[in-house]
Structures are given as C-alpha cells and as structure tokens.
Amino acid sequence: MQSWIKIDQHSDFSIYNLPFGVFSESDHIKRIGVAIGDQVLDLYAAFELGIFKDVDFDVKVLESDSLNDFIALGKSTTVKVRELIQAELCTANSVLKSHPSVFIKQSSVQMHLPVKVGDYTDFYSSIEHATNIGTMFRDPDNALLPNWKHLPVGYHGRASSIIVSGENVYRPKGQVVLDPNAPPSFQASTRVDFELEMGFIIGKSTKLGDSVSTETAEEYIFGKILFNDWSARDIQKWEYVPLGPFLAKSFASSMSPWVVTLEALEPFKISGPTQQPAVLPYLSFEGSKNYDIQLEVSIQPKNCQETVVSQSNFKYMYWNMNQQLAHHTVNGCNLNVGDLMASGTISGKRSDSYGSMLELSWAGSKPVELTEGGTRKFIEDNDTVIMRGHCQKGAIRVGFGAVKSTLLKAK
Ligand code: CA
C-alpha cells in the first residue's frame, strides 16, 4: 500500500494503522479524526466531501466529544469507514488530495479522552508481574495464589479519574503505615508508581444475562490504547486486604488518545505462553490470540532528558483478551460500548522488562539510574512518565503514539 501523503517510515501512524481519536482546534469544537503520519484527518470534513456516501450513518457521530456513538454503529460500519479512508489515501486523484484543509497538523490540535468510559475493569494477567509481586510480598516458593492459573484475576476500577495523555496527576494522599506497631499516618504517598498496561475498548454491548465466548470476543473489541494505571504502593499495602485495590488506584489512570483498531493489529497476532494446567472449557480458545506489541516506559524529570526504564511486550500476557472477556461475561454481566478493560501490568522475564517501579527497583531496594544522574525508586514530583508502543513487521509499522503524564506535588 502506498499513500500520496508523506509519512515518515518511523511514524506510528502509517497507512496500515489509521487509529481513531477525538480532537479540537482553537474553536474548541470536538470532532472525530484519524491519525495519518504527523497529521489528523478531520472525518467530519471528509464526510462533507462525500467519501462515506456508500455507508449509511449520521454525520453527527463525527462531531462528538467521544467515539462512543461512532463505535456503536458497529464494525459493519466502522471497518468500512476505515477501509474507505485507506482507499482514498492511496488514490492519486482522491477528493481529499484536492482539499488539503481536511488535514490538520497533530502539533496544532488538542487531543481529548477518546471514549466516555462507562465501566473500567483492570485485570492482573501477566504471570511475570504476578510472580514478582507474590515473591516480594508473600512466598517466593508459592508466588502465585491458587486461583491465578485458573482464571484471569481482575477488579472493578474507577472510570471517573481516567485522563488523557497530557493531563497531569496530583500525588495522592491517604493512610500509610510507617511503623507496623503504631496506628497508620495520613500523608502524601511516598511510593507513587506507574503500571505499564494496555487497554481495550468495548465496541458492542451485550444484554444482562448474556455471555461472550472466546470465539466471538473479537467482535466485541473495537480497539486498543496504552494505559498507565497510576498506583500508590504504600496506600495499597495497607488498604488492599481483603477486597483489593481502592484509593491506591482510583486517583488517576492515563490513556493514550488514539484508539488503534483490532483490524490494524491483525497482522501482529502471535501465540501466547502455554497455559498449564489446562483451563476450563469456557476459557479455552483456538488460534493465536496474543499480539506482538513492543512497549517502553521512560521517566523524564523536569528539564531533563528521558531515561528508558523498561522495555516490555504485550505478547508476554498469560491471559489473552478473548479469555478476559469470556471470563468477565461468563456470569451474565453485561458490556456497554465504551467500557474499558485493562490488561494489568505487563512485565517480561528480564529485570529491564518489568512494568512498574515496584518491580524495577524491587520494592525500593535497587534504585534505577537515570541518564542525567540521580536515581529513582518510585516517581518523584514533576517527573513525567511516558509510555510508547508499536508493532513492526518488515516495513509495516502500526503504533500507538504515547501516553504521557506528569506527577504533580500533592494538593
Ligand atoms: Ca493495574
């Protein structure tokens, strides 16, 4: 495929990608756009030029503050829209080429949260991450709890505090235990951490009582984003027993602005780790359901260069998205368009592929060195955490851009 648009070969937003997002210019009117190279294609303006005339939908869904109504049109429409855009961008006499104003530089737009997230679920599906945490806090010989290899462990998170890349996060305050023999203190967390995750956006609703099988799960997934699930380890340690994470997680999670469709990721499917013991029939699946997505995390202190502190890959996930969705709905819990399911921290086997500072600094015992001097055990005030991800196969690159947020001093 060759586009008439000039696209850098290292761009995440190649002709093979075409992710969807919500943007605005100086008039602040939010519209749906598609990223191509370093530009945004304004889909509302493209609609007015008639490129979607063979697809039946209301232009109103393209002048919206979220992708929800567009996604709700269903894959029969959204896949067609993406294919029409791809065809126009490869056709030398396209009407888009003679109307350059439908393209806007990414550097001159503001990106917004791409979806209105109704419900947010966070899984815990990396065996390396779960093993590291179990080793650190429980028993190195029995790091995984008895349920871990039988079901994709998860919890219901907080949707109201999900923010888009570029928005910043205040250091949270809460109860922490400084001395195990004394009552807890109330203070700003001193162990703020990132969690390298990816999330998927639900593209099709289900009715209460219905379940989604591993076989049909992909019909229900619109696309994927990068996700930093900010965590306060000291608050978490005290509060999480017996019901799991609460205020240690709910203060913020950051999301990348471009939703990469499952169709764009199809060429990067790969088989996942062997699951032993065998899973129950409702969690079994056929074919390759993992994805080869290279991930990295950088820390950038104020006025300093970035240091890459972790290089991981989404392919390491023990539980795949199909299994997560089958498990999530097996009890009849319904899904809504725009719901977000996050993977859980994505760690690899090597110590430089761990997806959190808790693991990288091994609970603070091994500080991580920064390129311009200094070290980090956890995230400090005014540090910016940047996560990036992309797939590469030969000359074909499909990427996610970045999710970037700065940790601000406690309010
Ligand atoms: Ca998490």
Confidence tier at 1 by pLDDT (50, 70, 90): confident
Residue 218 structural domain: 120-408
Same domain? 37 vs 67: yes
Per the prediction, the chain carries an average pLDDT of 97
Domain stops at, among 93, 112, 131: 112
Residue at 15 is within a domain: no
User: Among residues 140, 362, 128, which one has the least CA distance to residue 233?
Assistant: 362
Same domain? 70 vs 126: no
pLDDT (tens digit per residue) in 304-360: 999 999 999 999 999 999 999 999 999 999 999 999 999 999 999 999 999 999 999
Domain count for the chain: 2
Cβ–Cβ under 8 Å, residues 395 and 155 = no
User: Can you give the pLDDT at residue 163?
Assistant: 98
Same domain? 186 vs 319: yes
* CA of residue 274 to ligand 1 center, whole Å: 23
Catalytic residue numbers, as ranges: 129
Same domain? 94 vs 150: no
* CA of residue 63 to ligand 1 center, whole Å: 32
Same domain? 178 vs 75: no
pLDDT (tens digit per residue) in 8-28: 999 999 999 999 999 999 999
Same domain? 71 vs 138: no
Rounded CA-CA distance 246/234 in Å is 12
Residue at 226 is within a domain: yes
Question: Would you call 402 helix, strand, or coil by DSSP?
Answer: strand
Residue at 202 is within a domain: yes
Same domain? 102 vs 179: no
Give the angle 29-30-35 at the CA atoms, nearest 5°.
130
pLDDT (tens digit per residue) in 232-265: 999 999 999 999 999 999 999 999 999 999 999 9
Q: What is the mean pLDDT of residues 69-94?
A: 98
In this structure, what DSSP letter does residue 409 have? P
User: Can you give the pLDDT at residue 55?
Assistant: 96
Same domain? 164 vs 97: no
Q: What is the mean pLDDT of residues 190-218?
A: 98
Q: What is the mean pLDDT of residues 60-80?
A: 98
Does residue 279 carry a pLDDT above 90?
yes
Same domain? 92 vs 200: no
Residue at 135 is within a domain: yes
* CA of residue 344 to ligand 1 center, whole Å: 4
Confidence tier at 109 by pLDDT (50, 70, 90): very high
Identify the CATH number of the domain in which residue 34 sits. 2.30.30.230
Same domain? 150 vs 81: no
Neighbours of ion ligand 1 (CB under 5 A): 122, 195, 229
* CA of residue 262 to ligand 1 center, whole Å: 22
**In angstroms, what CA-CA distances link 181 with 174, 177, 184, 237, 267?**
18, 9, 9, 15, 55
**pTM score, two decimals?**
0.98
Higher pLDDT, 37 or 373: 37
Same domain? 297 vs 157: yes
* CA of residue 173 to ligand 1 center, whole Å: 19
Amino acid at 133: I
Does residue 137 carry a pLDDT above 90?
no
* CA of residue 267 to ligand 1 center, whole Å: 27
Residue at 295 is within a domain: yes
Confidence tier at 125 by pLDDT (50, 70, 90): very high
* CA of residue 343 to ligand 1 center, whole Å: 7
Identify the CATH number of the domain in which residue 324 sits. 3.90.850.10
Residue at 357 is within a domain: yes
Domain stops at, among 52, 80, 112: 112
